[in-house]
Structures are given as C-alpha cells and as structure tokens.
C-alpha cells in the first residue's frame, strides 16, 4: 500500500498539512493598489474579476485589510462578506451583520430591525475607524441576484443620509461582465452605476520570475511555529534545506511544465492559477518531508505527474473558455 502524503511525524496543525496559509503574490499587491486608488478617489464601488482558483479570495481574506491599513496609515473599517444567495432581505441583512461581527446578529428575526442594526453597525465601524467610510467586500459576487443588489443600493442610500460612505468591492469570476448591462436592462441601473463602473482584472502568475518570487515565499516568506523564524521549507525538510534545497529553484522547471501541460489549442492568457502552484509545492515539500530524495521529487517526470494529477489541464481549459471576457476587460 502506498504511504500517505503527510508523514506521521509532521504536526497535524502545520499550515502545510491544514493548507491554512496564503502566499503573497504580485497579483495581490496590484489588487490592493487598485482598491486603494478607488478609496482615494472615493468611488462607490468596483469589481475585481478573474478566473476561479487564481487567488482572489486568498488575497482578500489574508492580505487586503493589513495592506490597506499599511498603505493608508490608519485602520480601514472592513467587512468581508462571502456571498450566498438570500431569498429575503432580512436573511441578507443578518448575513452581513454576522460578517461584521455583530454579537446579536442571530437574535433578531424581523427584517426591518435587522436593517436598522446593520445601518447602526456600519456607522459605528466608520466612527471607530476615525472617518466616515466603510469598505464592504463581497466575495463570490457573481452569484448576486438583481434583488440582492437592489437591497444593497437601499442600504447604501440610507448610509449616505447618515453621511457615511460605503464602498462596495465585488470579487467575482468573469461572468460579472454580463451584469452591469443586464442590471440596467432589468431595472437595476442604480446598482450597476454605483458599484460596477470601475473594474480590475486579477492576474494569474504571469512569468517565470513571478513564479520564482511566489515559491521563494516557502523559503523565506513563511514561518512555523509563529515567531520561530523557521520557513516552511526549512521546517519540514531540514536535511534537504541544509544541503541547499530551495523551492525557488524549482521555478524554471515548474513554469515549463505548466506551459507544456496546457490543453491543446489553448488560446487564453499565459497566466497560471495559484491553485496549481500551491498544490504542486505542497506535494513536493511533503514528499521530501517523508524522506523522498529531493532530486527525484523535483525531476521533470515527477513534476509533470503532479501537475497533471492536480487538474491543471482541466482548469486551464476553463480559463481558455472564458478568455474572450478576460481580454475584453484587459
């Protein structure tokens, strides 16, 4: 029987085991810069779009808040809402209240009361941040219905009467392109005009140099245990590390393999998802941690096998299928 990928000696709460970590990428940096510009310009909203599994949600959950605070030199009141369809306004208000960490979000069932609670919570967040604005980030916003957008427009308008600016950042897959015109044609022009006029395309890893930068994160941009100064690479593969093994050195071969393993006739952008990169990297490090020979693990045939196994070709087929929309938003 084949041994499990995770070696028994590795702590079960190690981030490589739990996959509870996020690597910083140039795309995350560019996204935060773009959102920061929207805030500087006091935009009502904007759309960050790109194919699934490129790392948008990871950037929002793990980097956006701290980087905006560093950029602006102050706390940025931020609500991150992972959208799921809401059949009634009260359900949406309750979901937003939970995302805003309102302690009584589940105690009130009346829709009107929940709406008032939400307005009060956003106003308080704005004042706590020392200003008169709050940022609402809607992840998976491509699933928002016209009705939900109109409920959000109402919240936005009520906050304007309180002299509070709510900036709505939509994180979406590429079909969001269909929404501004569709909303306008079906009576939701207010939502399109407020929240969707500015757009930014979230890029995948676009060059070998970018890939090397990302893989370097395993060698020097991560640590576990926290505060130890020990990177993921050094921590799980100490012997290989002492002999000079570094994940960043795998960039050239991994880039070439991802290019070679593109689906036939691929016509999309030459950008690769973080899903492929992180899954391959995790596989490499865990196999070395299990005692495998590093030279064998990072051989051409081994890398190709892992890239194939993680569904790279299928995922890039999806990227290729939506390429016209991606290029339209370039």
Share of the chain above pLDDT 70, in %: 91
- Whether the CB-CB separation of 80 and 139 falls below 8 Å is answered with yes
The per-residue pLDDT for 106 is 63
What is the pLDDT averaged over residues 78-91?
Answer: 93
Q: Which residue, among 251, 262, 236, 263, has the nearest Cα to 303 in the 3D structure?
A: 251
Q: Which residues contact 100 (CB under 8 A, 6 or more apart)?
A: 79, 118, 121, 122, 125
Query: What is the per-residue pLDDT across 259-312, written as a single tens digit (0 to 9) for each?
Result: 999 999 998 889 999 999 999 999 999 999 999 999 999 999 999 999 999 999
Domains of the chain with CATH codes? 26-201 (3.40.50.300), 205-328 (no CATH)
Q: What is the pTM of this model?
A: 0.89
pLDDT interval class at 190 (50, 70, 90):
confident
Q: What's the average model confidence in pLDDT over 184-204? A: 77
Average pLDDT over residues 56-73: 94
Identify the bridge partners of residue 50 per DSSP, sorted by sequence position: none
Are 261 and 312 within 8 A, CB to CB?
yes
Say whether the peptide bond before residue 225 is cis (omega within 30 degrees of 0).
Answer: yes
Which pLDDT value is given to residue 130?
85
pLDDT > 90 fraction of the chain, expressed in percent and rounded: 73
**What band does 330 get if pLDDT is binned at 50, 70 and 90?**
low
pLDDT at site 178: 52
pLDDT score, position 118: 95
pLDDT at 187: 47
How does pLDDT run across 2-57, given as a tens digit for each residue? 678 999 999 999 999 999 999 999 999 999 999 999 999 999 999 998 888 999 99
Own/partner contacts of 79-84, CB < 8 Å, gap of 24 or more, are 79/122, 79/125, 79/134, 79/135, 79/136, 79/137, 80/137, 80/139, 81/136, 81/137, 81/138, 81/139, 82/57, 82/139, 82/140, 83/138, 83/139, 83/140, 83/141, 83/143, 83/144, 83/148, 84/140, 84/143
Lowest mean pLDDT among 178-187, 241-250, 277-286: 178-187
Which pLDDT score is estimated for 72? 86
At 150-177, the pLDDT tens digits run 999 999 999 999 999 999 999 988 654 4
What secondary structure letter does DSSP report for 122?
Answer: H
């Amino acid at each position: 029987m084949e041994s499990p990928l995770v070696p028994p000696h590795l702590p079960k709460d190690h981030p490589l085991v739990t996959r509870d970590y996020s690597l910083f990428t140039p795309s995350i940096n560019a996204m935060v810069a773009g959102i920061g510009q929207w805030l500087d310009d006091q935009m009502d909203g904007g759309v960050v779009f790109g194919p699934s599994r490129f790392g948008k949600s990871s950037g929002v959950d793990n980097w956006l808040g701290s980087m905006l605070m560093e950029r602006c030199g102050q706390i940025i009141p931020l609500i991150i809402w992972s959208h799921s369809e809401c059949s009634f306004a009260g359900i949406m208000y309750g979901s937003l209240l939970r995302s805003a960490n309102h302690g009584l979000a589940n105690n009130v069932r009346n829709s009107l009361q929940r709406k008032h609670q939400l307005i009060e919570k956003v106003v308080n967040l704005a004042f706590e941040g020392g200003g008169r604005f709050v940022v609402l980030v809607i992840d998976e916003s491509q699933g928002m219905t016209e009705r939900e957008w109109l409920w959000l427009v109402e919240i936005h308008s009520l906050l304007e009467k309180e002299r509070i600016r709510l900036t709505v950042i939509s994180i979406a897959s590429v079909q969001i392109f269909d929404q501004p015109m569709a909303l306008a044609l079906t009576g939701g022009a207010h939502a399109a005009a407020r929240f969707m006029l500015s757009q930014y395309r979230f890029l995948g890893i676009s060059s070998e140099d970018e890939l090397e930068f990302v893989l370097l994160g395993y060698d020097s941009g991560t640590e576990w245990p926290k505060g130890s100064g020990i990177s993921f690479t050094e921590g799980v593969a100490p012997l290989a590390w002492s002999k000079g093994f570094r994940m960043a050195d795998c960039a050239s071969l991994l880039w070439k393999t991802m290019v070679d393993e593109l689906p036939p006739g691929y016509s999309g952008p030459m950008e690769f998802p973080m899903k492929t990169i992180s899954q391959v990297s995790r596989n490499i490090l865990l196999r070395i941690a299990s005692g495998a020979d590093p030279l064998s693990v990072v051989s051409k045939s081994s890398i190709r096998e892992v890239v194939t196994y993680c569904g790279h070709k299928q995922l890039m087929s999806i990227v290729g299928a939506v390429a016209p929309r991606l290029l339209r938003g370039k």
